[in-house]
């Protein structure tokens, strides 16, 4: 009844998931690993004291009959190939974002999974497991404040390094809002425009920062997301939904309130890892529990991965064109309803 | 040393100011009134027990040598004429918004005042006197969070009556943000676009509600203002400024925090009149005090009235065009620096 | 219809009230002043440009037929004599705390006022006019959270000077809670005990600071008040009422919320004068308005002054005895019901 | 490397811990169970699909060489015997509160553990694992606001059933504050007094509710704890520490902030189980991890169980006497330093 994992990619995020499954969560075990750097793969086995086979590549790892589920934590361009092989072998897949680097790649995975006939794939969009977003979703689903009309979000990091480029504000940062917002309000993206406000002097020269991304949804909802990755003051995730009869706001992280030296207040997180640490645990625990309980993962689907890709593509086009761009995603198959 | 007021227009807002000057504030007295409805004017004198002359029109009232300052609280289209006559007579003027109904009318007043050679006119933009906005302005002026890059605002009313039209979202509602925001950040409006999100079912059919107005300023700042006049839940004014090193948020109105029946929270105002009641008192007290102290009012100027007019005009054009519209205000004369 | 004031005592607080009546409030005028320091009295007339007679003493000032109401802002031991003379002359009195320095002195004033047959005296307990306390009182009077059972308060100052002694924690500081709390919950004090927690190193050696004063009321309510006058961090007034169905908390002073350098929060007041500045204005405006409207002041009565005196006396005994002390106030006369 | 647990007592809390170890946490396994109700024990094995032996009594279960650690979740009076037997057998013990029902019983356990020579016992005081208390403790340990002088707490339940008696306010409810507060501030209790405020009409006749328990610590700190178990409005845990340079407050549970119908606010928990659910997980995970890492549990010790017992005894005496009672705990052995 234990889910036996094969891990493809033993870099930083791979090791975190291995640690999680081995030392924190219940019901999973690492039985196989591979990495383009074989030495790194062997070291991970030793570091975590795993009873796991080191494979030379994803193909051989997936073929291992002891492997129930594959954890895809390699670099982005390699995701599609591994996921398709796993589906082909009828193995479960937990794939970190991106599901594939292109819209077409995502669609190939979607089609492979539908052809297989039941859900195998979960994409690592962890925010849906954050207790704050879960509470917000519950309130929306219970229609506590009426129908949603507008959403205001902010995704703020203290800073980023020199490898972070203007389009990564979409593909690495905004992508979490892209996933979580359409899930929150059960709506689809229609079009997008990107506004570049006055640049912060704190950003490196090659980077447009902050950015404001404005979506219109199919039902006409207005969504505004500020991405500001050199905001200096903290890691700050905001989301407020304005509905027909009231507003609903994502809870802030709570902290000790101190009064001192003429001020009262609390600390903000500076490190994004701590903000969603419980959500990372819960997404993987749920992946395992769902497989055990129903034979299918219940988290973000391959279709959600496809939507993220098509939406992010349109956002990058809108960055470049300065115009409102249409988001032309395919219609959602019944399979994913 | 008492400022002797002549009041032009004894409707609701006129009577409130008369009451304020007579029963709440210090240093002013009503000595003359006029209204197109002479009976109403006479009744006001009786109701408030005023020792005041009832004049047949603004011209004769302004000519009264006992009148030091004119309070213009007639209907909007009449403002320009009264203000110009008052300037011509060298009288001080406190004029409710709009200063004039057209950009050209505002400019005529600006030119008349400059020709007169010293400030006589204050426009009734009371938010600048609200303690919350004053604190926010102080924090910005002290550069507490660095240079401002973005501003998010909301202007929400529980509901409006059937006379409220789509363009009034600009001219009656947004106009307060138009005035207060450029004052807050010492910047000028460059262009504007209007987004109409999904309509609330709570609005009457002829009205687009909510609306989102998006400005760019001359320095590149991004400003987003939600106007939502059938929000049902309360009268709610929000303003957050995102700066290079932090964010600054307009304080909410504080209220008793109650825990009861599984909830904790406080009441919201339902009536806009209570939100800025102290600001209404302070704007008029400051008008009187400034005249006494320096011979010139120190509040919002005729130029601010002009900026409100040109900006509102562009917003209405943007409502109609669906495009980004340029806000082509004249350069600010040194007289108003 | 203007209330003409004679001011007895032109020290700091006297001058503040003179300024308030002259330059801020509506409906009052200073027509006479006196002070043991005649030079100071004359200077005040000049400073504020008053049209006021300078009298050699309270007796002659009270005798002036132009004086409608007397403002007693002399030092505490002189209050009783002036108030009694004013009552004897049938003049209204606004008397700063204490009404008299002894229980017996307060009772003499109460008896004189009852003998006169209508209310003339208001004591300067301004907290009842603070908008936070007014909202809290409203919620209690509307029974929003059920019957009150317990109250937790804190009265914190950043620091005090060397003249501040352990008993002044009662007579100068706690006295504001003594007045406002029995008014809030319509109850009477039964007994009191004082706890001296660990002393702060920030207090001077002669001072016990902080102190916790614990009351039981006639109906059995529990009240705990922390007095902490070298708390360093700010001027902080807290009051929470725990009721049978919920809790109600005095609103904090609202301020700009800033996020910066890993913290979010707002400033606290450091100076007590700013906390109740509106309440000081309102108490005097209400004194004038009530006299105009009903011929009697409606604020804190001579009886409230008596209760403050008997309660403070018992608190000081409890400081010294370390025991629970009974608060033996007389029964409230119907006159003050 | 898996900790193999024997569970003594398969009632509600026993089953929760079994579920936790089996389905949520990492590193533990249930290998043996016993209960005075053998049928219940067998049912638990079936329900959770355990591979576990059902023993007739604690003695035989403890003797099983497969059992590394004993989980004591029987009824209170049976705890002492099982814990002593486990220590005698050199087994680890996680014992739910109370460690023993008497001061003497707790001391016997302390002495047995010291004789054994290393720590075996952890008591189930889960609050020390709550992220809010951990943050508060961190701030105190870092001396962020200076030395603590006073603590204000409240422990409020919506309601209790008819079996709940006046002394259970101490032994079942306050006991959590007793444990967590001396840990928070590294101090010892010196004396206690209990105040019975006006009774709530919502309590059953036999119950004094609310109660206020006032401690003095050895260093002179003042601690006030309100226990109010029919507060109706929610499960509400408050803790504020007033220090020499500032105050520190336990964070409230965060929730979605809703504005609706003239109010803004968030939900309160109604069920105590949800308040500390993460802490329950963490205390057991830490018990297992500490045993693995260092060979000794690091959580609340047998000594902490003894302190809880002696302090609770004094509180019950103070309930009855109405007087301040001395808390005469023994001096802490170096073993527990
Ligand atoms: Mg993830
Ligand atoms: Mg106005
Ligand atoms: Mg006063
Ligand atoms: Mg426990």
Torsional sign, CA B37, B43, B45, B48: negative
Q: B250, C256: Cβ pair inside 8 Å?
A: yes
State the Cα–Cα distance between residues C208 and C205, nearest whole angstrom.
8
Among D213, D217, D242, which residue's Cα sits nearest to residue D227? D213
Pairing between β-strand C211-217 and β-strand D3-8 as defined by DSSP bridges: unpaired
Q: Can you tell me whether residue B166 is helix, strand or coil?
A: coil
Could you list which residues have their CB under 5 Å from ion ligand 3? Answer: C 124, 126
| Nearest ligand by distance to the CA of C127 | 3
pLDDT per residue as tens digits for the range A259-303: 999 999 999 999 988 999 999 999 999 999 999 999 999 999 999
**Chain B residues whose beta carbon lies within 8 Å of the beta carbon of residue D236:** 259
Query: Which residue ranges in chain D fall short of pLDDT 70?
Result: none
Shortest distance between the Cα of D166 and any Cα of chain B, in A, equals: 24
Q: Can you tell me whether residue A139 is helix, strand or coil?
A: helix
Pairing between β-strand A211-217 and β-strand A189-195 as defined by DSSP bridges: antiparallel
**What pLDDT is recorded for position B1?**
73
Residue of A nearest to D134 (CA): A256
Chains that touch C (3 or more CB pairs under 8 A): A, B, D
Closest Cβ opposite residue A210 in set B150, B201, B219: B150
Interchain contact D220–C (C-beta under 8 A): yes
Whether cis (ω within 30° of 0) applies to the bond prior to D268 is no
In a mutational test of the B interface, the residue from D158, D233, D275 whose CB has the highest number of chain B CBs within 10 Å is D233
Q: DSSP letter for A161, please.
A: -
State the Cα–Cα distance between residues B266 and D265, nearest whole angstrom.
6
Q: A263, C262: Cβ pair inside 8 Å?
A: no
Map out the domains of chain D with their CATH numbers: 3-123 (3.40.50.720), 141-268+308-336 (3.30.360.10)
Q: D232, B261: Cβ pair inside 8 Å?
A: yes
Q: Can you tell me whether residue B139 is helix, strand or coil?
A: helix
Interchain contact C253–B (C-beta under 8 A): yes
Residue of A nearest to B229 (CA): A244
Neighbouring residues of A294: CB distance < 8 A, sequence distance ≥ 6: none
The residues pairing with A152 across neighbouring beta strands, listed in sequence order, are A224, A240
Q: A266, C270: Cβ pair inside 8 Å?
A: no
pLDDT higher than 90, residue B273: no
CB-CB neighbours of C183 under 10 Å = 17
State the Cα–Cα distance between residues D225 and D315, nearest whole angstrom.
12
**What pLDDT is recorded for position A224?**
98
Query: Region A221-241: what's the mean pLDDT?
Result: 98
**Cβ(C5)–Cβ(C31) under 8 Å?**
yes
Half-sphere exposure of B294 (CA within 13 A, CB side): 10
**What pLDDT is recorded for position D273?**
85
**How high is the mean pLDDT of chain B?**
97
| Nearest ligand by distance to the CA of A95 | 1
Query: Region B154-181: what's the mean pLDDT?
Result: 98
State the DSSP H helix or E strand holding residue B281, giving kind and residue range, or none if neither: helix B277-294
Torsional sign, CA B292, B298, B300, B301: positive
Does ipTM top 0.90? yes
Shortest distance between the Cα of B264 and any Cα of chain D, in A, equals: 5
In a mutational test of the B interface, the residue from C138, C139, C258, C277 whose CB has the highest number of chain B CBs within 10 Å is C258
Q: Can you tell me whether residue C301 is helix, strand or coil?
A: coil
Let me know how long chain C is: 337
Interchain contact A229–D (C-beta under 8 A): no
Q: A262, C236: Cβ pair inside 8 Å?
A: no
The Å distance, Cα D277 to ligand 4 centre, comes to 10
**What pLDDT is recorded for position C1?**
73
Cβ-in-10-Å burial (0-12, 13-18, 19+) of D12 comes to exposed
pLDDT higher than 90, residue C273: no
State the Cα–Cα distance between residues D180 and D225, nearest whole angstrom.
12
CB-CB neighbours of B294 under 10 Å = 11
The Å distance, Cα D83 to ligand 1 centre, comes to 43
Query: Region C177-184: what's the mean pLDDT?
Result: 98
**Chain A residues whose beta carbon lies within 8 Å of the beta carbon of residue B233:** 145, 245-247
Interchain contact A270–C (C-beta under 8 A): yes
Res. B34 pLDDT band, cuts 50 70 90: very high
pLDDT per residue as tens digits for the range C21-45: 999 999 999 999 999 999 999 999 9
**What pLDDT is recorded for position A19?**
97
State the DSSP H helix or E strand holding residue B182, giving kind and residue range, or none if neither: helix B175-185
Closest Cβ opposite residue C251 in set B145, B249, B257: B257
B/e letters for B150-182, b = 16+ CB within 10 Å, e = fewer, are bbbbbbbbbebeeebebebbbbbbbbbbbbbbb
Interchain contact B337–C (C-beta under 8 A): no
**What pLDDT is recorded for position A1?**
73
Contacts across the B-C interface (CB distance below 8 Å) = 84
Q: C253, B254: Cβ pair inside 8 Å?
A: yes
Q: What share of chain C is helix, strand, coil (3-state, %, to 5)?
A: 40, 25, 35
Query: Region A326-330: what's the mean pLDDT?
Result: 94
Contacts across the A-B interface (CB distance below 8 Å) = 85
Q: C233, A259: Cβ pair inside 8 Å?
A: yes
Angle at which helices B131-141 and B175-185 pack, to 10 degrees?
30
CB-CB neighbours of B274 under 10 Å = 11
| Nearest ligand by distance to the CA of D287 | 4
State the Cα–Cα distance between residues D77 and A11, nearest whole angstrom.
52
Q: B249, C261: Cβ pair inside 8 Å?
A: no
Share of chain A above pLDDT 90, in %: 98
Residue of C nearest to B285 (CA): C24
Q: What share of chain B is helix, strand, coil (3-state, %, to 5)?
A: 40, 25, 35
Query: Region B171-187: what's the mean pLDDT?
Result: 98
Query: Region B75-95: what's the mean pLDDT?
Result: 98
State the Cα–Cα distance between residues A154 and D31, nearest whole angstrom.
49
Chains that touch D (3 or more CB pairs under 8 A): A, B, C
**What pLDDT is recorded for position A246?**
98
**What pLDDT is recorded for position D6?**
98
The Å distance, Cα B237 to ligand 2 centre, comes to 16
Closest Cβ opposite residue A144 in set D132, D248, D258: D258
Q: Can you tell me whether residue B127 is helix, strand or coil?
A: helix
Written in H, E and C, the secondary structure of chain D is: CCEEEEEECCCHHHHHHHHHHHHHCCCEEEEEEECCCHHHHHHHHHHCCCCCEEECCHHHHHHCCCCCEEEECCCHHHHHHHHHHHHHCCCEEEECCCCCCCHHHHHHHHHHHHHHCCCCEEECCHHHHCHHHHHHHHHHHCCCCCCEEEEEEEEECCCCCCCCCCCHHHHHHHHHHHHHHHHHHCCCEEEEEEECCCCCCCCCCCCCCCEEEEEEECCCCEEEEEEECCCCCCCEEEEEEEECCEEEECCCCCCCEEEECCEEEEECCCCHHHHCHHHHHHHHHHHHHHHHHHCCCCCCCHHHHHHHHHHHHHHHHHHHHCCCEECCCCCCCHHHC
Interchain contact A135–B (C-beta under 8 A): no
B/e letters for C114-151, b = 16+ CB within 10 Å, e = fewer, are beeeebbbbbbbbbbbbebbebbbebbeeebbbebbbb
Query: Region A78-104: what's the mean pLDDT?
Result: 97
Res. C106 pLDDT band, cuts 50 70 90: very high
Neighbouring residues of C222: CB distance < 8 A, sequence distance ≥ 6: C149, C150, C151, C214, C215, C216, D195, D197, D198, D212
């Amino acid at each position: 009844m234990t889910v036996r994992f094969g891990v493809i990619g033993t870099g930083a995020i791979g090791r975190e998931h291995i640690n999680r499954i081995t030392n924190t969560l219940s019901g999973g075990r690492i039985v196989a690993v591979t990495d383009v750097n074989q030495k790194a793969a062997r070291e991970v086995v030793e570091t975590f004291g795993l009873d796991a086979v080191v494979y030379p590549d994803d193909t051989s790892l997936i073929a291992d009959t002891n492997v129930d589920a594959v954890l895809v934590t390699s670099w982005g361009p390699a995701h599609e190939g591994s996921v398709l092989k796993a589906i082909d072998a009828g193995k479960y897949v937990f794939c970190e974002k991106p599901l594939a680097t292109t819209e077409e790649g995502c669609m190939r995975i979607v089609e492979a999974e539908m052809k297989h006939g039941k859900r195998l794939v979960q994409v690592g969009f962890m925010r849906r497991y954050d207790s704050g977003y879960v509470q917000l979703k519950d309130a929306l689903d219970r229609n506590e404040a009426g129908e949603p009309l507008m959403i205001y979000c902010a995704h703020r990091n203290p800073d980023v390094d020199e490898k972070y480029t203007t389009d990564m504000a979409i593909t690495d940062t905004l992508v979490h809002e892209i996933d979580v917002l359409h899930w929150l309000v059960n709506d689809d993206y229609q079009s997008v425009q990107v506004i570049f406000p006055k640049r912060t002097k704190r950003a490196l020269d090659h980077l447009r920062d902050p950015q404001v991304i404005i979506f219109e949804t199919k039902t006409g909802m207005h969504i505004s997301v500020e991405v500001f990755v050199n905001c200096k003051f903290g890691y700050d995730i905001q989301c407020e939904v304005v509905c027909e009869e009231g507003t609903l706001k994502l809870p802030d992280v709570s902290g000790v309130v101190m009064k001192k030296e003429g001020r009262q207040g609390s600390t903000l997180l500076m490190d994004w890892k701590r903000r969603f640490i419980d959500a990372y645990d819960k997404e993987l625990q749920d992946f395992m529990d769902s497989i055990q309980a129903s034979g299918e993962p219940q988290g973000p689907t391959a279709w959600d991965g496809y939507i993220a890709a098509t939406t992010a593509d349109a956002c990058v086009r809108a960055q470049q064109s300065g115009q409102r761009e249409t988001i032309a995603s395919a219609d959602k198959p019944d399979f994913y309803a």
